[in-house]
Amino acid sequence: MMNTTDKPQIKLAAWPAIVHARCPRCRQGNLFANSMYGFHSQKMNKTCSHCGLTYEREPGYFYVAMFVSYALNVAEMVTVCVATSVLTGSMNPWLYVGLALSASVILSPFNFRYSRVALLHWLTPGLHYHRERSPL
């Protein structure tokens, strides 16, 4: 029997929350205070504005995100080098070094942001979506 004060719970989809860097527990609050590419450095919120989750679970928690960022960076550099080889067929190593390093620098804000998103959404045991924490 449904209580009259209970409102129907809508389960929010995971992928929009991941793409938009939302809280892993309620999928509503923003993880970051500013945009990915801009003139200011990236600033991560300390807690979720909706459910109050503290994003840094313990001191040094985000050091693990460096490993995720490293894996993303290697995947991007390999992709750029393979694409360069397929598209140009060049044998000049400086072309590959230059393009791989350029891709690394250009994509570093993306890697910073989504390494933390991946850490919070997929790699943290015990941190899951709670439908009752969502305001919908």
Rule CB under 5 A: which residues touch Zn ion? 23, 25-26, 29, 48, 50-51, 53
Least distance (Å) from Zn ion to the CB of residue 28? 6
- Partnered with residue 83 across adjacent β-strands are none
CB of 52 to Zn ion, least distance (A): 7
Nearer to Zn ion, 35 or 54 (CB): 54
Amino acid at 77: M
Nearer of residues 51 and 100 to Zn ion, judged by Cβ: 51
CB of 42 to Zn ion, least distance (A): 19
CB neighbourhood size of 36 (10 A): 12
Residue 43 or 128 having the CB closest to Zn ion:
128
Minimum CB distance to Zn ion, residue 135 (Å) = 10
Nearer to Zn ion, 21 or 68 (CB): 21
